[in-house]
Amino acid sequence: MLLIPLLGSPLLAAALSWLVRPYRRWVGIASASLSVATFVIAILLARRCLDGAAIVLGPMEFLRADSLSAVFALLVAGGACVSTVFGRSYLDRERSDGRLGEDRLRRFHALTNVFIFTMLLAVTAHNVGIMWVAVEATTIATAFLIGLERSEGAIEASWKYILIGSIGIALAFVGTVLGYFDFVARVGPTDGALNWSVLVRVADRLDPDIMRLSFVFVLIGYGTKAGLAPMHTWLPDAHSEAPAPISAMMSGALLPVALYAVLRWKAVTDACVGDGFTDHMLMIIGALSVAVAAALLVRQAHYKRMLAYSSVEHVGLACLGFGFGPAGLPAALLHLLSHAAAKSTVFLLSGEILHRYRTTRVSGVSGLLKTMPLAGGLFLAGILGLLGLPPFGLFLSEFLLIRAGFAAGYPRLTGFVLLMVLLIFISLLGHVSRMLYGSPPEAIHRGDLPAARYVPIALSLAILVILGLVIPGPLASLLRSAVEVVYG
């Protein structure tokens, strides 16, 4: 029964936000509280799936959560929890400044919770068609959120996101249809023909050439949604214009949800043609994404776009891990969890920086540690985490990824990726140093929010540190079970 409250909590929050008129401040508090409840339910779900068990709902298994689903549900619910709880301060300030009226605030809360619901539905749907619909629904919800402030840049970014995202999801639909019709032609009409478990069970009876073609469409289609290069062009515009809580969830949760869909199709394709084909495809697109991110981060003038290109790098690294086989998959999943914690932190704090300095340009921000000592220190910690320095979780996950790459027999590719990561490290550290140090503009107000407001950020960073020091036993068991889901 955990699946009902998991999906029901964000739906309830969305209904409250939309129906309560005029807007009341308690609606935002209720939304944040229900987001915390969703995270707790996701933790309970993960505990139920530790031993490889699956939770199903309905006679046709309309919803089904296994250990792989549980990993991504934790990722989505955790990112949403931090973003909505800390986002209350952001929204209250935007409201007091007159930048967001009551109608927009109500729309923000309603659409944000619909966004959370669609992501959770995507990772718990047992049916490939329902999963496709859920991923498409995330596009609709987030498009309106990106253009919430109705500025010229926000509206342009929103339309660009809709256009490119819709093309990507259409390609994923083509891949889904190819797989389905091949199933019907070779296996015949079957109950649950679009269910994951059924597709994997009969994959050896499907046409290998059609499944290869299907996976190419799926990888490009969902890869567009994940921000993989060269389909990433919507991502920097959308992230730079969206409200900070939405940028945090899009980067930390939405991009991995699209990779989840790729992983599910990888399991089906591997059962049909072996894992060599999908592994090579994932390694190529992963390495390309890291290289493109490195090139674009060298001379980046806007700090929110800088964080967006960092997301391209990290989803690329995750794809590499998917391609490195059973040893790389748990490292990639750990990397996505750590990235969600780090990226939620820095994107939320970028909203504080934008509010104080009124610019997204790196050159327009200086003396951040003097202007906002607490926020600046937390921002620095989040950036160091993204750079993969110890004792943060991304250091451990990147170490495991590199080790898996060498162990899988790809020393040249792994060495190339290491070189790109080093270039990103130097570039990102240089940009952030200019923001943190120096003399702040005289007109800039000094001071932080009350320390209690930063508790969600601090907890997120604490999780990031824990993941860098040790992989907790239950999480390690969950990751091992997730590998068995993909590789059998």
pLDDT digits (tens, 9 = 90+) for 407-445: 999 999 999 999 999 999 999 999 999 999 989 988 888
Task: Answer for the pair 297, 309: CB distance below 8 angstroms, yes or no.
Answer: yes
Q: Please give the Cα distance from 174 to 273 (Å, whole number).
A: 19
Listing DSSP states for 419-433 in one string gives HHHHHHHHHHHHHHH
The β-bridge partners of 195 are: 127
Q: What is the pLDDT of residue 466?
A: 96
Q: What is the pLDDT of residue 233?
A: 92
- pLDDT one-digit tens code per residue, 231-275: 999 999 998 889 999 999 999 999 999 999 999 999 999 999 998
Q: What is the pLDDT of residue 461?
A: 96
Per-residue pLDDT band for 67 (boundaries 50, 70, 90) equals very high
Q: Backbone dihedral region of 274: left (phi > 0), alpha (psi from -120 to 50 degrees) or beta?
A: left
Q: What is the pLDDT of residue 105?
A: 86
Mean pLDDT score across all residues of the chain:
93
Residue reference for tokens 């809360």 = 109
Task: Answer for the pair 365, 358: CB distance below 8 angstroms, yes or no.
Answer: no
Question: Would the pLDDT of 142 be above 90?
Answer: yes
- pTM as predicted: 0.96
| Cα 97 → chain centroid | 30
Q: What is the pLDDT of residue 154?
A: 85
Task: Answer for the pair 365, 353: CB distance below 8 angstroms, yes or no.
Answer: yes
Task: Answer for the pair 3, 65: CB distance below 8 angstroms, yes or no.
Answer: yes
Residue closest to 175 by CA, chosen among 132, 228, 130, 134: 132
Task: Answer for the pair 80, 33: CB distance below 8 angstroms, yes or no.
Answer: no
Q: Please give the Cα distance from 445 to 394 (Å, whole number).
A: 34
Angle separating helix axes 255-273 and 67-96, nearest 10 degrees: 160
Task: Answer for the pair 330, 480: CB distance below 8 angstroms, yes or no.
Answer: yes
What residue spans define the domains of the chain?
3-487
Task: Answer for the pair 393, 353: CB distance below 8 angstroms, yes or no.
Answer: no
- pLDDT one-digit tens code per residue, 371-404: 999 999 999 999 999 999 999 999 999 999 999 9
Which residue type, as a one-letter code, is found at position 155? Answer: I
Task: Answer for the pair 91, 66: CB distance below 8 angstroms, yes or no.
Answer: no
Q: Please give the Cα distance from 251 to 224 (Å, whole number).
A: 13
Q: Please give the Cα distance from 400 to 107 (Å, whole number).
A: 42
Q: Is 310 helix (H, G, I), strand (E, B) or coil?
A: helix
Residue closest to 153 by CA, chosen among 242, 250, 91: 242
Cis bond leading into 391, ω under 30°? yes
Mean per-residue pLDDT for 284-302?
96
Residue closest to 254 by CA, chosen among 223, 221, 226: 226
Total residues belonging to the chain: 488
Task: Answer for the pair 343, 313: CB distance below 8 angstroms, yes or no.
Answer: no
- pLDDT one-digit tens code per residue, 310-332: 999 999 999 999 999 999 999 99
Q: Please give the Cα distance from 230 to 245 (Å, whole number).
A: 26
| Cα 240 → chain centroid | 16
Q: Please give the Cα distance from 355 to 346 (Å, whole number).
A: 14
Q: Please give the Cα distance from 344 to 351 (Å, whole number).
A: 11
Lowest mean pLDDT among 79-93, 94-108, 207-221: 94-108
Question: Would the pLDDT of 59 be above 80?
Answer: no
Residue of 348 and 62 predicted with greater confidence? 348
Q: Please give the Cα distance from 488 to 473 (Å, whole number).
A: 21
Residue of 20 and 426 predicted with greater confidence? 426
